[in-house]
Structure 1
């Protein structure tokens, strides 16, 4: 029997990248939703023409607004897996997740903010009782990055510190929604797990130079509020510090973002109209610079801990030419495992708790994503 996958918000760059991955690696019937109609009758042809992809004939389009609860409930009931890509998740409630649990349908999302993550995790017991596997924070970061950390953590008898660094070139191949997410992340200070205590950190602060693999090299990253900052202290109880930092290429984008975080009045940054203005201006700017910088991503996971009575540092690095496509691989690979019955873990879980390293390695290899590992001198 053919599996049916519903991708909410699938017209965006991330959602359509997930659809591309599923069309490549599964035989699932894929339905993508959007709030406005597509002019062309054949959505697969429209999407292929926009992205130069070949999705075949197994992709359909459904006009759906998440506020249409009855229509949403019906669409979920007629699906075997729901993939929630309708961000920004700063604004989202957990209604989709709740309906999935009620209907007994497995769930994935690309959520990228702790406000949503914390609300979703409250439904863990209900998901367990309903035998529903709900995995949150899938994608590239969070997502693939979480599994990279887990792989590093498993090298130690006692992991003690996690340092995650993310770098994106230009727009990363993503759309306006990702720009909104970036600026929304500058609105408030956030709690980070540092030396065994929760401490307030200012967004886009404490610039640090990280030596990423080629072609990026030494690049600046800054504190940024990510779900990993919140979930990993719980996933890995012996860890006393979790650092999540983000940066952009070219570097002048970092300085502009720093100004937005530290110079602009807080009341201005907390207005939706400001977020919309900055997001559209930024997206226009990246359209200009993308031909020179590319739209790739680099992820560096560094874990410090004890092994055989000695302190060591283990590092994992990933570089991929298209950030949005990498996110599609991260989510699509987990969806593939769920559809094939290779991954079943009832509950609401972040990626690092749900996905084993063996399965992670297999799915990344099948997608041609190479992750390099090495021990560093302490």
Structure 2
């Protein structure tokens, strides 16, 4: 067994750990932004996996070391200094990861330099990007990734991974899927960070191309305000958002005539306030709200006493059944106890575990679709305070 393990070590670069008469391979997984909002969720979930050694990376070596020391990890975690704007070749060569999970946003202002550096290093790459162009163009690295026999996945998060998985699960019910209308409502008590806030604010009041009535049309971020009532959660307000799906899905589901993706705050006052600021952006009275993310984030925290730790996701699909009659399907997720942020983290967690065990052997670069099915995704959420509601309605 040890001899076989050594042969595998030479082939993959993974570390061989001996445990008495047993030996097992351990993948070194670097989480860039590992002590940040999403990074901490991922790290704590992966920490007890005996096939993984966590490498907590960030600009602050002290914070990386402190957080890695706090983890009750199956294999002692390490802290490392790494700056995505710095010398990535040096950093990755020093840290020597097998897999990199990139969580440091906002991705709207980044290019693919981290993914390219991972390909050059010969390690797999996953990110939690929600930026439309960033995710939709990751396949430009496909030839490079295949040449180095690594997997490069962008958007290993709610969009487009969960959203595509939901549509794929329901698609067989439709003779023709014509429209999808879906959104995410954040909890007020979620652990909000500056990068996530900047990403959301970057498109408030800005033009967005969205599929409407069979053609791409211009809408504006945070406009088209509408209410959605969630089972057991109440009514939440939503406005237009820009995500990778808006580019990927019209090609992936060619029968679609209309798409709408929206997001919203839990508190209606904050949602309406953001909507009003969006009007000022559209009128060019002020520039991008992302320039004021720090101040607006502090203002949002002042409303925490009026909110909760409950967030939601909904998707409404409509079209024609196989009998030619109108058909609608509805899908809901309600997260309580502040567990909502685990939902966007889950694709990266699942793929990291699979890569650590060499269960994903399809090298190349692609958005995160066709890698995790809906049942697997939901099963991974089963131990959390998360409720799934499928309201299947034939109209």
Query: Pairwise mapping of residues 120-139 of structure 1 onto structure 2 (< 5 A)?
Result: 120-139=138-157
Rg larger in structure:
2
Distance 1:8 1:205 in 2: 33
Change (3 A) 1:35 1:42: closer
Query: Pairwise mapping of residues 241-252 of structure 1 onto structure 2 (< 5 A)?
Result: 241-252=258-269
Kept after mapping to 2: 8 A contact 1:150/1:352: no
Query: Pairwise mapping of residues 1-378 of structure 1 onto structure 2 (< 5 A)?
Result: 1-24=25-48, 27-38=51-62, 41-46=65-70, 54-55=72-73, 58-66=76-84, 67-75=86-94, 78-170=96-188, 172-186=190-204, 188-215=206-233, 217-264=234-281, 265-266=283-284, 268-270=286-288, 275-277=290-292, 279-309=293-323, 310-321=325-336, 322=338, 323-365=340-382, 369-378=386-395
What SS is found at the alignment partner of 1:352?
coil
TM-score (ref. length: structure 2): 0.84
Distance 2:230 2:237 in 1: 10
Distance 2:39 2:252 in 1: 27
TM-score (ref. length: structure 1): 0.87
What SS is found at the alignment partner of 2:198?
helix
| CA displacement 1:102-149 (0-9 Å, x = unmatched) | 343221101011131233232234334443322211223454334223
Q: How many residues align?
A: 366
Change (3 A) 1:86 1:186: same
Single out whichever of 26-35 and 349-358 deviates more from structure 2.
349-358
Change (3 A) 1:171 1:335: same
* Regions of 4+ moved over 6 Å: none
Could you say what the CA RMSD is over the residues aligned between the two structures, in angstroms?
2.6
Using the TM superposition, give the Cα deviation of residue 320 of structure 1 relative to its aligned residue in structure 2, in angstroms. 1.3
Kept after mapping to 2: 8 A contact 1:113/1:226: yes
Consecutive unaligned residues in structure 1, runs of 5 or more:
49-53
Consecutive unaligned residues in structure 2, runs of 5 or more:
1-24
Larger relative CO (CA 8 A, sep 6+): 1 or 2? 1
What SS is found at the alignment partner of 1:3?
strand
Change (3 A) 1:75 1:228: farther
What SS is found at the alignment partner of 1:249?
coil
| CA displacement 1:170-225 (0-9 Å, x = unmatched) | 2522211111111112262011122221111111111111121222x222111111
